[in-house]
């Protein structure tokens, strides 16, 4: 079971006493986290992927409940107030959050749970779950990151600019996380992730 532990400074952390594990993938937008995650889940269907909630509008092809829970700002704020998120952050003009209950239930059931979230949220998770394994995905270069954001072809110029601006400070924080993997060749990056997990 996961238990909340309070220390004398008032911090609350969570301690695992079950075989479940929490794995957090983070890194700048456009680096290929989602692509890597989809391939990883195909290879390892036993992994539990936590579907996040967001106030962002769906991109073409995205499915509610599979890619995200698409909710409005009013509902998001209500979920924040009611403590329904394990972490949440504002990113490039929208809000994103990890639903708490399903993640805790799956870890307690012994599952390997994976989150794919931006850096601020990953920091919040680390503060709550010091035992998590965190993997930071790096681009081969900033130019390549920009190419990928553009070639994805799903964000406006303004959204791409906001993502690139944030990417530089995110990449500077990569050392805060347990493992850094450069997503240059997709298969090599996937193999490196598997080596870290299994």
Can you tell me the distance from the alpha carbon of 134 to that of 114, in angstroms, rounded to the nearest whole number?
10
Q: Is 117 in the site for ligand 5GP (CB under 6 A)?
A: yes
Residue keyed to tokens 């130019």: 143
Minimum CB separation of residue 163 from ligand ADP in Å reads: 8
Minimum CB separation of residue 109 from ligand ADP in Å reads: 27
Can you tell me the distance from the alpha carbon of 21 to that of 74, in angstroms, rounded to the nearest whole number?
32
Q: Which is nearer to ligand ADP, 10 or 60 (CB)?
A: 60
Among positions 142, 186, 195, 196, the unique one binding ligand ADP when judged by CB under 6 A: 186
Minimum CB separation of residue 17 from ligand 5GP in Å reads: 25
Q: Is 33 in the site for ligand 5GP (CB under 6 A)?
A: yes
Residue keyed to tokens 């503060």: 127
Among positions 34, 104, 108, 133, the unique one binding ligand ADP when judged by CB under 6 A: 34
- Triad 66, 68, 72: Cα angle to 5°: 135
Tell me the window of 6-14, 85-93, 133-141, 187-195 that interacts with ligand 5GP (CB under 6 A): 85-93
Q: Which is nearer to ligand 5GP, 87 or 171 (CB)?
A: 87
- When computed from its CA atoms, the radius of gyration of the chain, rounded to whole angstroms, is 17
Q: Is 160 in the site for ligand 5GP (CB under 6 A)?
A: no
Interaction partner, residue 35 (ligand 5GP, ligand ADP, none; CB < 5-8 Å by kind): ligand ADP
Q: Is 33 in the site for ligand ADP (CB under 6 A)?
A: yes
Contacts 24+ apart (CB under 8 A), 54-59: 54/94, 54/95, 54/96, 54/97, 55/94, 55/95, 55/96, 56/94, 56/96, 59/154
Can you tell me the distance from the alpha carbon of 55 to that of 161, in angstroms, rounded to the nearest whole number?
19
Binding-site ranges for ligand ADP (CB under 6 A) = 29-35, 148, 151-152, 183, 186
């Amino acid at each position: 079971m996961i238990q909340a532990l309070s220390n004398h400074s008032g911090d609350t952390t969570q301690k695992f006493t079950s075989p479940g594990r929490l794995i957090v993938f983070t890194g700048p937008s456009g680096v290929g986290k989602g692509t890597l995650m989809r391939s990883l889940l195909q290879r390892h269907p036993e992994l539990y992927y936590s579907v996040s909630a967001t106030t962002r509008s769906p991109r073409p092809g995205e499915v509610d409940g599979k890619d995200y829970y698409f909710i409005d700002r009013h509902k998001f704020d209500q979920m924040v107030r009611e403590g329904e998120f394990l972490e949440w952050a504002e990113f490039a003009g929208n809000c994103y959050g990890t639903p708490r209950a399903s993640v805790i239930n799956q870890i307690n059931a012994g599952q390997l749970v994976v989150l794919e979230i931006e850096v601020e949220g990953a920091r919040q998770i680390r503060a709550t779950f010091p035992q998590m394994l965190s993997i930071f995905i790096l681009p081969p270069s900033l130019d390549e990151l920009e190419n990928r954001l553009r070639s994805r072809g799903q964000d406006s110029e303004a959204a791409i600019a906001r993502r690139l601006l944030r990417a530089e400070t995110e990449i500077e924080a990569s050392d805060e996380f347990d493992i850094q993997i450069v997503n240059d060749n997709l298969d090599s990056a996937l193999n490196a992730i598997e080596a870290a997990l299994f």
